Amino acid sequence: MGNQLFDQQFMHGGDYNPDQWLAYPEILQKDLAYMQQAHVNTVTLGVFAWSALEPQEGVYRFDWLDRVFDQIHSIGGKVILATPSGGRPQWLSQKYPEVNRTNAQGQKHSHGFRHNHCYSSPIYREKVTQINQQLAKRYGKHPALAMWHISNEYSGECFCSYCQENWRRWLQKKYGDLATLNHAWWTSFWSGTYSDWSQVLPPSPLGEHKVHGMDLDWKRFVTDRTIDFYLHECTPIRQLTPDIPVTTNFMAEGHATQDFIPLEGIDYSKFARHVDIVSWDSYPDWNNNFESLAATAMKSAYVHDQYWSLKKQPFLVMECTPSFVNWHSINKAKKPGVHQLSAMQQIAHGSDSTLYFQWRQSRGNSEKFHGAVVGHDDSTENRVFKEVAAYGKRLEKIKEIQGTTRKKAVAILFDWESNWALKRGGGFGRPTRRYPQTLQEHYRYFWEQDIAVDILTPEQDFSDYQLVIAPMLYLMTAETMAKLCQYTEAGGTLISSYFSGMVNETDLLYLGGLPQPLRGLLGINVLELETLFDTEHNQVVFQGQPFETRDYSAIIEAETAEVLGEYQADFYQGTPAITKNAFGAGTAYYLAARTNYDFFEQFYASLARELSLAEERIAHANPEVSIQGRISPERTYFFIMNFSEKEQTLDLIKEVVDLETNQAVPPTVTLAPYEVRVVYFNN
């Protein structure tokens, strides 16, 4: 459904909040003309408009929204209509305090700001159903309505009595009886055995959170509760507007730190099954002072690829900023050209939209200094507006790419549940677990080499990929082990590592060393997992070169595996650190130590050669120039993106045509700083 959403046009626009400007008709009037100037064709309405839509309980006001719908339609635009549950009206919190969230310490929120409602409250569910019903009835058939945006950035958890009751029910359904739960959570430790269901509370900061299995289940429960609330919101919408696609905006995290990774708190692989099209809010820390632009671009690319992979179909960037955010400690503007570059990167990785938060900068309140398309100067002459307009115009020129797919031979496996379990567990190096960040280091090689990668969960089908990279898969079910074996046996190449296959789905350790299916697959046994201080290193010699290790060394013995690299020091000197095992028609590698990027460069370069992974490239790789492709039945498109402040020259190895000029591209391409070229060849 997602691919046909907008009939060969990328969505360009974003959150439009006329509800903030109802007392300023002259501003609202200008917005339409400005939108046309900015090549905006889509607006998201109503995200936080509940108090404007229902100023008093049961008293609805739609006149302003009717007008905006019609106006947007009159300029040929489309509306993504949000349900307003992310920010409830004051009267609702006041009259029905149960709708306000309860924190882990048992304190009830007051109205507060937003995103702090309970997912279980029957009253909140009822009120949400009513407003959603009203919206669907009124706008469901409006010709401008393109899609539903359910709520906003679902997140968080509630510890009220309703949620606790649901938690116990969820556990009863999962475990059936307390004996099974007690075993799964290993509650005999520290005398934690439950003898009655009423004793089972949520994890709390006062102590019970030390039960690892409970913590893991709580996180699963929070995901399920969030999805349940979302599905509840969708019910009237699906009934009244069955043909309008539905999404909700996912998030990334790590902003204002050096990390940028998919949100860890909600299992989006589960959530994605319930949306028609994946969408997410993309706020990488562009132009920061701690890493190169290319390093930021690599992390941003990773998150795009992960969200692409949830459905393996085009997604939407529901929010991004054309300039800066307001919630970093230092809110840096994107330098001239970087908006265009970062937005084209979205499209290159499979987005069918660039949508902003927000269209017009708020006059007051907490996000008044957040970047927007129209600033407080109310001018279409400033740099940001002009860059947005130029970008919108470019999107129109390359619109035939909308809806196209991507082709990938490499998959990285990421598992939300395994990440939760790994982060929770004691022992080893707590700050150095860094599972998603480690996957990004593997990913970096492929990004720098312009080899496209999917990031899948183990439940997805990975049988068709030439290379599957599954390091640090700490929690592994028997099914996942079987799938990895089948994949390799059938001819696949698998990468595994330290911290793999240690616990089952309830976080109980596998007894007797590495579980048998993995032992056969990898041809090794794991004897110990040694943790290093940050000042401590070992060395591994691989292909005749030494590589420094850090953080973790699995101490292993090779059974059937061939040893490709050995540790050079410490009590495990001379033992295997890198192994390769032939398994059926395929090969399974084990990386026992955590290494730096230089090792990945060497290791994956050999594999890429062996598996001919780089054959589809159109140019020799340059680590600061990223090339990503999209494919239609007729054409293969490439976005050539210069993520550096300097001019870059590329030697093409295939003949391509510039999509915007329709001219053949000469074999040597020079890119200005931050420049993006969009090229294609006919299939």
Q: Which residues are catalytic?
A: 153, 319
Enumerate residues 507-546 that contact ligand GAL by CB under 6 A. none
* Per CB under 6 A, 367 contacts ligand GAL: yes
Q: Cα angle at 383 between 379 and 384, to 5 degrees?
A: 80
Rounded least distance, CB 557 to ligand GAL, Å: 49
Angle at which helices 416-424 and 435-448 cross, to 10°: 130
Closest-by-Cβ residue to ligand GAL is: 357
The structure tokens listed for 58 are: 């049961």
> Measuring CA to CA, which residue among 388, 390, 366, 391 is closest to residue 375?
388
Distances (CA, A) of 291 to 62, 287, 294, 525: 48, 8, 8, 38
* Per CB under 6 A, 493 contacts ligand GAL: no
Enumerate residues 248-287 that contact ligand GAL by CB under 6 A. 281, 283
Per-residue binder mask for ligand GAL (CB under 6 A), 283-312, x = binder: x-----------------------------
In the complex with ligand GAL, the residue whose CB is nearer, 327 or 597, is 327
In the complex with ligand GAL, the residue whose CB is nearer, 137 or 328, is 328
Rounded least distance, CB 108 to ligand GAL, Å: 24
* Per CB under 6 A, 118 contacts ligand GAL: no
Q: Are 545 and 510 in contact (CB under 8 A)?
A: no
In the complex with ligand GAL, the residue whose CB is nearer, 357 or 465, is 357
In the complex with ligand GAL, the residue whose CB is nearer, 321 or 642, is 321
- The rounded distance, in Å, linking the Cα atoms of 254 and 261 is 6
The structure tokens listed for 384 are: 């940001």
In the complex with ligand GAL, the residue whose CB is nearer, 375 or 429, is 375
- The rounded distance, in Å, linking the Cα atoms of 109 and 159 is 11
C-alpha 483: how far from chain center? 24
> What single-letter amino acid sits at 61?
R
* Per CB under 6 A, 152 contacts ligand GAL: yes
Sign of the Cα torsion 578, 624, 393, 70 reads: positive
- Helical residues (DSSP H) of 331-429, grouped into ranges: 338-348, 383-397, 416-424
- The rounded distance, in Å, linking the Cα atoms of 490 and 585 is 6
Contacts with ligand GAL by CB under 6 A: the residue count is: 9
> Can you list the pairs that 180-185 forms with residues at least 24 positions away whose Cβ atoms lie under 8 Å?
184/213, 184/506, 184/508, 185/211, 185/212, 185/213, 185/214, 185/217, 185/506
* Per CB under 6 A, 319 contacts ligand GAL: yes
In the complex with ligand GAL, the residue whose CB is nearer, 357 or 674, is 357
**Residue environment code for 339-366, b if the CB has 16+ CB neighbours within 10 A, otherwise e:** bbbbbbbbbbbbbbbbbbbbbbbbeeee
Rounded least distance, CB 321 to ligand GAL, Å: 6
Per CB under 6 A, the list member of 108, 168, 183, 370 interacting with ligand GAL is: 370
- The rounded distance, in Å, linking the Cα atoms of 495 and 562 is 14
Enumerate residues 131-150 that contact ligand GAL by CB under 6 A. none
C-alpha 65: how far from chain center? 31
Enumerate residues 580-639 that contact ligand GAL by CB under 6 A. none
In the complex with ligand GAL, the residue whose CB is nearer, 14 or 515, is 14
Catalog residues that contact ligand GAL under the rule CB under 6 A: 152-153, 281, 283, 319, 325, 357, 367, 370
